[in-house]
Structures are given as structure tokens and as C-alpha cells.
Amino acid sequence: MIPYEVICPDCGDSGGPLDEQPETAQGVRGPYADVAAAKRAMERHTGVVAPEE
């Protein structure tokens, strides 16, 4: 299983190691079990609905 993560540059997340990211970014980063869970987390975090594939 490949874990999915949400990277939020607006929260200061640079995509680097989790422990080097701001606390606000760490809370949304994940990991999530699948892409659907990651999309739901992104939607909750940003309020923007991800497009359907």
C-alpha cells in the first residue's frame, strides 16, 4: 500500500521531512490510506472540492 500525503504550500509545507514542517502543515499532511482519503482531507483543509477523475 502506498500512503498518500497532502502538501499545503500555503501552510508553509515545503514537501520535505514531516518533522521539519510547521505544525499547521503537519496536521493535514497525512499519511492517508488511499487517494480518496487524501482528497477528502484536502477538501476539508482548503474548502476546494477536488475534481473527479
Sequence spans of domains, the chain: 9-46
Q: Residue 18, CB half-sphere, CA atoms under 13 Å: how many?
A: 8
- In the predicted model, is pLDDT for residue 1 greater than 70? no
* pLDDT value for 20: 94
Nearest to 41 by CA among 2, 21, 3: 3
Tens digit of pLDDT for each residue in 6-52?
999 999 999 999 999 999 899 899 999 999 999 999 999 999 887 77
- Spatial distance between the Cα atoms of 19 and 33, rounded to a whole number of angstroms: 20
Whether the CB-CB separation of 14 and 29 falls below 8 Å is answered with: no
- In the predicted model, is pLDDT for residue 53 greater than 90? no
